[in-house]
Amino acid sequence: MLKRFFAALVAIFFVSATANAQKILFVPHDNRPVSFQQPAEVIRQLGYEILSPPTEILTKPDDLWLWLNENAKFVDAAVVSSDALLYGGLIPSRSHEISAEKLLNRVENFKILRENNSTLKIYVFGSLMRTPRVGTPGDIEEPAYYGEFGAKIFDYTRLLDKNETFSKLNRREKRILNDLEREIPAEIRSDWFSRREKNISATKRLIDFANDGIIDFFVIGRDDNAPLSQTHRENRDLLAYMAKIGVEKTKAQSHAGIDEFAMLLLTRAVNDLSGNLPFVNVKFNRGKGFDTIPHYSDEKLGDSVRDEIIIAGGMFVPNEKRADFVLFVNTDPKGQTFELHNSFPSQILTKRQEKYFKRNAKTFSERVEDAINQNLPVGVADVVFANGSDNFLMQNLREKGLLFKLQAYGGWNTATNTTGFALGTGILAKKMSRQSIDRLLARRFLDDWGYQANVRTQIAAQLAKNPDGLSIYLHLGDREAEISSLETKLLREFAAKNLPQWQNFTVTNPWHRMFECQINFLP
């Protein structure tokens, strides 16, 4: 009788807690599908209501703060981008002209948010400014001068970082550093470094808030960087600061990546609100695996994945039999990242390369198949290629009938973007219906495999024959309707062959470029 009484008590508490945890406020760092709609879609599959601001105010920090303060009282958790709330978004954070005083005033708004909402779970994600290896003329993601001076700025800061982290520069490197300092105009260096200093100051204040409990968790992203770069240099400064004030990893982290943070923190919010601590096991492909340092990162992928598990509110377990989710990471045996899908025009594989990738895909897919046959809850993070799936792996999984036996899949953009999104989705899949899981998988297969690894590269190869091809690829302009229609046609043809039950959709390009797309499922 007593046992039944306590069981009923627990059931009442659980129902009450679930009922009170139905709304999560979400402010993304921009309105790209993978930043905004797609993470929210995952959480909605669990029955949670996502409350987000109107897209027209996402680039207006003061309006965003007004909206946030008005709506925070109606939700149990808030997952918000500090880049949006301080600068107007991820990309504006890299080229803004906001004063240091105004930025710090906006940072202080987090104290007011906490004072007015004492029980609200507040999860914040922000970024260090990135340091791309090269600049692309016309690229909207950096200051205009980066198109001309980007490669020199990268090399300049790489040498500054090397001088501070390793033995002093040799005579040749010192000469190159001096030459670069002369070749990059002083006003450009001043603009670039001064903006970064303001952003670092704001980030340190947010770390203080995480340490003091004003923010429940804060994660700082290092997007598009390298083991030696200005981003890596600034991260060393941040890590030293975090060690100095004694902030714990359970309160704040610096992590290689950025676009995956919304998915990871939304997953953490769900886990915290429902009182769950999911166990996660990770399996890397043969060869370098854990020790892979992928492109656009400055650390081992294995370390990044372990941190992502913590960010998502989970715990790594070495035994897959105890895991709620097992993530298989498809890495290259030699630890390389291939830019096949990022090149313009797309590269043509040699027979030797094709044989190499086929052998690797066969071995990996067999391991995935074995785990699924053991009834393990398996997901795949596909990171051999940057910004697109491994076609050879996906063909293997399709032929083995495994595509819709997975719990989660990711194969888009950088390695940590991929692992983070797959982790978050896979951890939450346990709470979803099979129908919901399949819908989320279909989106990833169409986007990461169909569009990124095939349709996009196919159209890019056609555009490359045009003298203005790269310009059109980056800015669709008056060709957008035509190209979106072609994307839809080609992706439907791809789906007819590979995903025959998922052909009722259209493709659009909400950022008016071909780098990403939106898959619109039709009723």
Phi-psi group of 60: left, alpha or beta (phi > 0 → left; psi -120 to 50 → alpha; rest → beta)? beta
Which of 389, 408, 391 lies closest to 399 in space, CA to CA?
391
Q: How many residues comprise the chain? A: 523
Fold exhibited by the domain 22-149+184-275: Rossmann fold (3.40.50)
Instruction: Quote the CA–CA distance of 207 and 204 in Å, as a whole number.
Output: 5
Q: What is the pLDDT of residues 411-447, one digit of tens each?
A: 998 999 999 999 999 999 999 999 999 999 999 999 9
| Host H or E run for residue 380 | strand 378-382
- Round to whole Å and give the CA distance between 130 and 180: 19
Classify strands 279-284 and 325-330 as parallel, antiparallel or unpaired. Answer: parallel
pLDDT > 90? residue 357: yes
pLDDT over 50 at 1, yes or no: no
* Domain regions of the chain by residue span: 22-149+184-275, 280-521
CB 223 within 8 A of CB 271: no
For the stretch 143-163, what's the b/e string if a residue is b when 16 or more beta carbons lie within 10 angstroms of its beta carbon? bebbeebbebbbbbbbbbbbb
- pTM to 2 decimals? 0.93
Give, in order, the Cα–Cα distances in Å from 308 to each of 184, 257, 406.
37, 10, 20
> Which stretch of DSSP H or E encloses residue 253?
strand 252-255
Q: Quickly list H helices, 415-463.
A: 415-429, 434-444, 456-463
- With a pLDDT cut of 70, the percent of the chain lying above it is 96
Q: What is the pLDDT of residues 75-88, one digit of tens each?
A: 999 999 999 999 99
Q: Which residues contact 310 (CB under 8 A, 6 or more apart)?
A: 249, 250, 253
193-250 pLDDT, tens digit per residue, is: 999 999 999 999 999 999 999 999 999 999 888 899 999 999 999 999 999 999 998 9
